Structure 1
Amino acid sequence: MIPERALAGRMVAPIGLGCMNLSWAYGDPPPHDEKVRLLERAIELGYDHLDTSNIYGLGRNESLIGEALADRRGDYLLASKTGIVVKDGGARGIDCSPQAMARSIDESLARLKTDHIDLFYMHRLDRTVPIPDMVGALARAIEAGKIGAYGVSEWSAAHVREAHAVHPMAAVQTEYSLWTRQPEIAVLETTRELGIAFVAFSPVARGALGGELGDDPAFGDRDIRKGMPRFAEEHWPANRALIARFEALAAEAGIAPAQLALAWVLAQGPHVHAIPGTTSIAHLEENFATLSLDIAPATIAAADDLINQATVSGPRYSPAMQASIDTEDFA
């Protein structure tokens, strides 16, 4: 059994629920009543850390949580984010100016039907705003009781340190999985040293390690994986071969591939959390059951040796997407 871990002043299960794909990102989201049932089932199972953002479905994801779980607000730590904006014409940008964040917090509170967000992230680094100004705005929101703590997403170790020196930071959220190892360059150790929780999003490698993508995955136009290099035809066959070996390793251990992927993430430090997302109640249950498994360290080590930065084929993002990321990257 993996015990609870600290996050934003609260002890929570180290597997939380990333809510993004209930509203956006991986194809068409499920019908509304199925989304509500999944969120209700998550609380029944013991999920007590839900992660959303104002940009997921352009506010619809926050509204979904507010509608489905308003009467269960005390049962979970609520995390949301701000900073990614949609400009005229549909292009995305970043705005973490104090005025924009103050407005965004109020809008998120209204959609979430609450007066308090436990953990509020800057979704990306805004290179046009001084870090003391950004952090100062969130410190004022903490003082006003609108948010409990702040975090950042996809920030470099140097900028995490700079922000933490202005006001203590509660969490850093970054993509982290067996096949995405950028946090190991500097951020993972920095968060451990500073006593900051590390929250891994896409810990099952955007479904690649979930045991369900075959030799030729068909992604629709509404699926963001269609534009990600590792799923493209020049890289996927090599990655699929690695994944087949990974799936065999999980089967030999008597567990699901996603459970091995999650167990590996949580084994990287006692300050590490994982927030897999899903639209399937069966997968929701399977993911949370990872916490009760006793997986041999040798199996986790074998997974680490099999899928890592040196063995995976292709970068995680296209150059255009990578341009918005501050987290250190491999050469």
Structure 2
Amino acid sequence: MKTRKLGKELTVSALGVGCMPMAGIGKGMYGQANDEESIATIHRAIDLGVTFFDTAEVYGPHRNEELLGQAIKGKREGLVIATKFGFAFDENGFRGVDSRPDNVRKACEGSLQRLGIDVIDLFYQHRVDPDVPIEETVGAMSRLVEEGKVRYLGLSEAGPDTIRKAVATHPIAALQSEYSLWERDIEAEILPLCRELDIGFVPYSPLGRGFLTGQVTSRDDLPEGDYRLNDPRYSEENFAKNMEIVAVVKSIGDAHGVSPAQIALAWLLHQGDDIVPIPGSKRRVTLEDSMAAADVALSDDDLAKLDAAAPAGETAGPRYHEPMMKMVRI
């Protein structure tokens, strides 16, 4: 597996693993997961040279971190473990965002325990808290770096002003935000700003929540309770239009003898050496397919066809419903 750098110093595998589908995401969010297969998937990723694994406190909550911690026990050396904080929840469920300094520390301590590690390699603010100045939050995060509990800091779905203020407080190694062939809005301002400030970029949902894999050919393919049945881009009115993107991805994949998923991931990798996608996997077969994208070379003609098929801002439907859209680019 090839490597890349996030920021100036943090070396990771060119592709990471998004652990979110593996455990603790609610009933059937991306289809049912099996803990045994999920752990085997993490072990297979390590065998393939993957070093970068992404989880979060809110996934479950807590169960996803526990699963990853179980999987990496005895295999920690050389891995880059990323987790995220910033949501408030209790026994009754999700209660909003919370990036107050005391919660930053509480979340870190809990994540360290659940993951079974001594230091978090990359600690992200999961969503910006509009009620807490980013300088206070990043200041609290930086104190964890000073104490040796965290190595590098990251943000997720932050807006330009927030990013600049954060960097003025402490170096930021990575920004994690949605980026894929069907979600390219970050190209206008966010990605150039990251490059100006030496911040690496980590695309989540790099396969469009599975849409770009071509495995879902109709809404009927999704099991009852699957989150995507309520996704605007999977809706009845938008599905057929978005399948036109998949048709082009599939045709280029056929020409290369690889899967649509590999083409979609290879396109992201071709957008710059500072980009490290984290496709979600919960099974070894999909993991192996995705990781092979690191070796796919796209021609200028391939890239032109993909750009034409999926221009920025032209995907049918918003990427989230309004409540979640209000939580991004703050």
Aligning the two structures, in what range does the TM-score lie when normalised by the shorter sequence? Answer: over 0.9
| Residues 1:253 and 2:218 aligned together | no
SS at 2:276 equivalent: strand
Other-structure match for 1:7:
6
Alignment of structure 1 residues 232-243 onto 2, 5 Å:
232-243=235-246
Whole-angstrom CA distance in 2 between matches of 1:50 and 1:190: 25
Please point out which of 225, 228, 239 is paired with 2:228: 225
SS at 2:314 equivalent: coil
How far off its partner does 1:87 sit?
5.2
Please point out which of 45, 68, 71 is paired with 1:68: 71
CA RMSD of aligned residues (A): 1.7
Which amino acid is 1:276 matched to? Answer: P
Other-structure match for 1:207:
210
Unaligned runs of 5+ in 2: none
SS at 2:155 equivalent: strand
How far off its partner does 1:310 sit?
4.2
CA contact (8 A) 1:54 1:80 kept: yes
CA contact (8 A) 2:267 2:298 kept: no
Q: Kindly provide the CA deviation profile for residues 17-68 of structure 1, in whole angstroms up to 9, marking residues without a partner as x.
A: 0000001263443222111111111100111000000111211110011111
| Residues 1:123 and 2:126 aligned together | yes
Whole-angstrom CA distance in 2 between matches of 1:185 and 1:92: 32
SS at 1:273 equivalent: coil
Alignment of structure 1 residues 83-162 onto 2, 5 Å:
83-86=86-89, 89-162=92-165
Residues 29 and 146 (structure 1 numbering): CA distance in 2 closer, same or farther, change over 3 Å?
farther
Name the stretch that deviates more: 180-189 or 101-110: 180-189
Residues 3 and 279 (structure 1 numbering): CA distance in 2 closer, same or farther, change over 3 Å?
closer
Q: Kindly provide the CA deviation profile for residues 134-186 of structure 1, in whole angstroms up to 9, marking residues without a partner as x.
A: 01100100000000011000001221011001111111000000000121121
Alignment of structure 1 residues 268-307 onto 2, 5 Å:
268-307=271-310
Work out the number of aligned pairs and report it: 326
Other-structure match for 2:186:
183
Whole-angstrom CA distance in 2 between matches of 1:11 and 1:89: 39
Q: Kindly provide the CA deviation profile for residues 76-118 of structure 1, in whole angstroms up to 9, marking residues without a partner as x.
A: 1000000022256434400000001100100000000011000
Q: Kindly provide the CA deviation profile for residues 241-273 of structure 1, in whole angstroms up to 9, marking residues without a partner as x.
A: 332232122212322111110111111122111
Whole-angstrom CA distance in 1 between matches of 2:2 and 2:49: 13
Whole-angstrom CA distance in 1 between matches of 2:220 and 2:213: 13
How far off its partner does 1:217 sit?
3.9
Whole-angstrom CA distance in 2 between matches of 1:97 and 1:55: 16
Whole-angstrom CA distance in 2 between matches of 1:158 and 1:217: 42
Name the stretch that deviates more: 185-194 or 301-310: 301-310
Whole-angstrom CA distance in 2 between matches of 1:29 and 1:17: 18
| Residues 1:192 and 2:192 aligned together | no
| Residues 1:19 and 2:19 aligned together | yes
Residues 290 and 242 (structure 1 numbering): CA distance in 2 closer, same or farther, change over 3 Å?
closer
Residues 280 and 300 (structure 1 numbering): CA distance in 2 closer, same or farther, change over 3 Å?
farther
Alignment of structure 1 residues 308-319 onto 2, 5 Å:
308-319=311-322
SS at 2:242 equivalent: helix
Residues 140 and 222 (structure 1 numbering): CA distance in 2 closer, same or farther, change over 3 Å?
farther
Percent identity, aligned pairs only, is: 36
Unaligned runs of 5+ in 1: none
Name the stretch that deviates more: 18-27 or 149-158: 18-27
Q: TM-score, normalised by structure 2?
A: 0.94
Residues 216 and 225 (structure 1 numbering): CA distance in 2 closer, same or farther, change over 3 Å?
closer
Name the stretch that deviates more: 215-224 or 286-295: 215-224
| Residues 1:77 and 2:80 aligned together | yes
Whole-angstrom CA distance in 1 between matches of 2:10 and 2:134: 26
How far off its partner does 1:295 sit?
2.4
Other-structure match for 1:57:
60
